[in-house]
């Protein structure tokens, strides 16, 4: 018996003759913040749609103990999905949006949403289409925080916003939403901005899950080295998973290499998530 919020086994999806997902296996436990990262077309959205019951699939998907495709209406009581801010209906006023969300989601609370807008410039009578990008971010955040869901899925939630509002959005989400009972799954291209808040990371490439691990295990497995010029041959012999030249320096990323051997090659550090993403997406083989 497992307490996982999400259990996926052998998830496959085919469009016509093209297989988009190639048998994904993963669990997402409660109280975690997951980042699902991949290039456009890698299968992120298809994976989310399968978890949310928005598409059929092969394999087994259980979300909060339910088959999302068969029991989506029942499941949505405890699950919330919010896409980027551009998905907010521009033709509605803010109060009309809140009224609509009350009808759509049983765990959306107008009073909470209004409370989160206190101190902002967003007024209930304002037309959403007339709000600035910053106001849209504030409204989007109020909607997110006002939904009492066990699983919150955010698909590129800060797309199009400047860095100030993106950072504010994520920090407020972390401080005011997350609890030990709630699970957050975020897809984004701005992976460095959410690295500070993630507990786990999943990289998906061409329909395969090539990396799935807790963030604390990343430095135990992956190492980045700025290799001294006279050590390039020795470093290459240790079979880095990625190498490139940056501003005249050779940088290599290693998977599971002996730390003592690496320290003799040059300056050693843990790769950032964006550096690790480039390394794993650029090589011929993936990490499992």
Q: What is the pLDDT of residues 215-253, one digit of tens each?
A: 999 999 999 999 999 999 999 999 999 999 988 899 999
Taking the C-alpha atoms of residue 255 and residue 232, their distance in angstroms, rounded to an integer, is: 17
Q: What is the residue range of 252's domain?
A: 217-282
Domain edge (last residue) among 183, 206, 229 = 206
> Does residue 84 carry a pLDDT above 70?
no
Based on the fold, state whether residues 198 and 223 are members of the same structural domain: no
Based on the fold, state whether residues 137 and 25 are members of the same structural domain: yes
> Does residue 284 carry a pLDDT above 60?
no
3 state DSSP class of 66: strand
Residue 211 falls inside a structural domain: no
Which pLDDT belongs to residue 129?
Answer: 94
> Does residue 285 carry a pLDDT above 60?
no
Which pLDDT belongs to residue 86?
Answer: 67
3 state DSSP class of 266: strand
Instruction: Give the burial class of 102: count Cβ atoms within 10 A of its Cβ; 0-12 exposed, 13-18 middle, 19 or more buried.
Output: middle
| 73-82, 94-103, 158-167, 182-191 — most confident range | 94-103
Based on the fold, state whether residues 102 and 199 are members of the same structural domain: yes
> Does residue 1 carry a pLDDT above 50?
no
> Does residue 287 carry a pLDDT above 60?
no
> Does residue 19 carry a pLDDT above 90?
yes
What average pLDDT score do residues 38-61 get? 92
Please spell the DSSP secondary structure of 184-232, one letter per residue.
EEEE-S-HHHHGGG-SEEEEEETTEEEEEEEGGGHHHHEEEEEE-GGGH
> Does residue 110 carry a pLDDT above 80?
yes
> Does residue 286 carry a pLDDT above 50?
no
């Amino acid at each position: 018996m497992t307490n996982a919020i999400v259990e996926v086994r052998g998830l496959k999806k085919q469009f016509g003759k093209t297989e988009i997902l190639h048998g994904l296996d993963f669990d997402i436990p409660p109280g975690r913040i997951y980042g699902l990262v991949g290039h456009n077309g890698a299968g992120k959205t298809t994976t989310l749609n399968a978890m949310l019951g928005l598409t059929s699939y092969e394999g087994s998907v259980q979300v909060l103990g339910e088959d999302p495709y068969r029991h989506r209406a029942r499941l949505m009581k405890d699950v919330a999905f919010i896409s980027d801010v551009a998905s907010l209906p521009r033709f509605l006023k803010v109060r009309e949006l809140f009224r609509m969300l009350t009808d759509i989601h049983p765990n959306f609370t107008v009073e909470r949403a209004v409370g989160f807008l206190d101190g902002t410039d967003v007024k209930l009578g304002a037309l959403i289409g007339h709000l600035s990008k910053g106001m849209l971010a504030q409204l989007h955040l109020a909607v997110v925080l006002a939904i009492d869901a066990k699983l919150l899925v955010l698909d590129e939630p800060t797309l199009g916003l400047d860095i100030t509002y993106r950072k504010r959005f994520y920090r407020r989400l972390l401080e005011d939403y997350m609890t030990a009972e709630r699970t957050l799954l975020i897809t984004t291209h701005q992976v460095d901005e959410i690295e500070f808040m993630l507990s786990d990371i999943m990289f998906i490439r061409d329909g395969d899950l090539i990396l799935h691990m807790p963030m604390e295990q990343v430095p135990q497995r992956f190492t980045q080295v700025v290799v001294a010029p006279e050590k390039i041959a020795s470093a290459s012999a240790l079979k880095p998973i990625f190498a490139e030249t940056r501003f005249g320096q050779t940088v290599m990323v290693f998977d599971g290499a002996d730390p003592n051997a690496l320290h003799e090659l040059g300056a050693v550090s843990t790769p950032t998530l964006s550096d690790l993403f480039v390394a794993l997406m650029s090589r011929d083989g993936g990490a499992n």
